[in-house]
Structure 1
Amino acid sequence: MAEDIDVLKSKLMKRQPNVSGAIIVEIFGGAAYESWAGALALIEAYLELEEMTGEPPNKAHINDELYLVLKSYWSADLGDDLIKLDSFLGKVRG
């Protein structure tokens, strides 16, 4: 992986309070392509943003390619994280 998830989370914290969906995708997008851990970090950051600001995940920031990568993780054994993934993808395509 290009960068450790904790390093990416630190980058996100440094951008506070000016975080948007675009910034989350900028920081975590590459990691989401590389692993489920990266995808989960992106999803959790975006859901936290939505909870704090009301900004939901949307198509403007999640392009079709990234959407398909995230959707491909459905085939993995994600346990409870499958609910997060399903909810996130539903909001993006809403």
Structure 2
Amino acid sequence: MQILLGLIIGAVIGLAVHFALPHRHLRGVVLAPLAGAAAAAILWTALTWMGLGVDSPILWIVAVLAPAVTTFALVSLLTRSRVARDEADRARLGV
């Protein structure tokens, strides 16, 4: 049940990253929150299996930093790829 805390934190951080980065109109609104929630869930699960509990500050630090780093990198790469592909398509079509 405590993994919900990690999922919510990850989704909120992902949503913040979505609105913080440019070219929002080129990606879906669900991409960044989903990536943040997935990163937080995976690391939360791994750290709890390693024996860390909710009272451990390491778990909370990782639950905040991992989704932020993962989502920022993923959204930046996907947006850059989409912009480049759109430019190539425009050039190919002569638009």
> Would you call these one fold, judging by a TM-score over 0.5?
no
Higher relative contact order (CA 8 A, sep 6+): 2
Tell me the TM-score normalised to structure 1 length: 0.28
Mark the structure with the bigger radius of gyration: 2
Tell me the TM-score normalised to structure 2 length: 0.28
Q: Which has the higher helix share?
A: 2
